[in-house]
Amino acid sequence: MPKNALNVLWALKDAFPHTIPILLGYVFMGMVFGILLQKAGYGALWAFVMAIVIYGGTTQFIAVGLMASGAGLWESFVLVSMINARQIFYSISMLERFKQMGKKSYYMIYSLTDETLALLNLKSPKPHIDKHWFDFFIALLNHSYWIIGCTLGAIVGSFADFEPKGLDFVMSAIFVVIFIEQWRNKTMRTPALIGILVSLVCLYIFKAEHFLLPALVGICIVLTLRRKSLES
């Protein structure tokens, strides 16, 4: 086997264990989405395509409601775009890192989710592993888990009666675990405290339904203003 191919396989092997917590959460939550989509009258093919193209948990769950209520295509597109706007901020923060990845950078920007961003900032490959391939497989594996979960859920929902109410807490639990691990492994905790404080303020002002985007904007502004002090 060519050396380059071996390097790719080693990167895949090194990346996989780090994505196991995401595997459990994505497959589980993806199945919940697939079941809901099936109940709304759409089959496994729809679940498969939406998982590939939209690749957004909150967005896809909202899309199910829109599709079930007969909302127009343009209305659905605008709402989905607004919800996924938070990914712009994630991508901006990773542009310098992704520019070194060549053609893989396009997929990295497209597949950047909350959990993938956290893993990319938290985990590092072993010394002999190509970091670019390591990052790529982190993103690809996470995306694959979501596709599998959504499609499997739609298949299960076609012949099983299942009530998914309350299972959305799974993703919240994953975020808590990732945050705690980052907190323990980082000596500079000021950005995390800023994120918590700004999020709480926005939650109080905009309420739970609308606080996410303002919180992201606020965090970016505060971190930008304090960039020099944080880097010193």
> Per-10-residue mean pLDDT for the chain, 232 residues long?
75 93 88 86 89 82 72 64 67 79 89 86 87 94 96 87 61 66 72 86 85 80 76 60
Q: Which two tokens stand for residue 232?
A: 């010193």
Q: Do 8 and 129 touch, CB atoms closer than 8 A? A: no
Residue 23 has a pLDDT of: 92
92 domain residue, yes or no? yes
User: Does 128 reside within a domain?
Assistant: yes
Angstrom distance (rounded) from CA 228 to CA 39 = 52
| Residue 203 forms part of a structural domain | no
Tracing tokens 């996989």 back to the chain, one arrives at 16
| First-to-last C-alpha distance (Å) of the chain | 46
> Quick check: is 201 in a domain?
no
172 burial via Cβ count (<10 Å: 0-12, 13-18, 19+): exposed
Spatial neighbors of 2 by CB under 8 A, at least 6 apart, are none
Tokens representing 55?
């690749």
Q: Closest Cα to residue 47, out of 153, 204, 142?
A: 153
Structural domain including 115 reads 17-164
**pLDDT for the residue numbered 72:** 59
- Taking CA atoms, 170 is separated from 17, 23, 25, 174, in Å, by 19, 12, 6, 6
**Nearest CA among 49, 102, 41, 50 for reference residue 69:** 41
- Structurally, the chain folds into a number of domains equal to 1
Question: 213 in a domain, yes or no?
Answer: no
Question: Does any domain span residue 184?
Answer: no
Asked if residue 191 is part of any domain, the answer here is: no
Sign of CA dihedral 207, 212, 216, 219: positive
In a domain, 55, yes or no: yes
Q: Would you state the pLDDT for residue 165?
A: 62
Q: Which residues contact 228 (CB under 8 A, 6 or more apart)?
A: none
Main-chain dihedrals φ then ψ at residue 80, nearest 5 degrees: -60, -40
